Amino acid sequence: MRELIAGAHHIALFTADLERLRDFYTNVLGLEEVGRFEGRPIVFVAAGATAIELVGDKAPDEPRGQGWNHLALEVGDIDAAVAALEARGVVFQGPPADFPPEAPRARIAFFRDPDGNLLELIQPLGARYPGAGNG
The pLDDT value recorded for residue 43 is: 94
Question: Distance (Å, rounded) from C-alpha 34 to C-alpha 93?
Answer: 28
DSSP 75-123: -S-HHHHHHHHHHTT--BSSS-EEESTTS-SEEEEEEE-TT--EEEEEE
Taking only the tens of pLDDT, the chain with its 135 residues reads 457 888 888 988 888 888 988 988 888 778 899 999 888 999 999 988 889 888 887 655 555 666 777 888 889 999 999 998 898 889 999 999 999 999 899 999 999 887 677 888 999 998 777 766 544
- Main-chain phi, psi angles of 70, to 5 degrees: -160, 160
The pLDDT value recorded for residue 116 is: 74
Question: Distance (Å, rounded) from C-alpha 38 to C-alpha 16?
Answer: 18
pTM: 0.67
The pLDDT value recorded for residue 95 is: 97
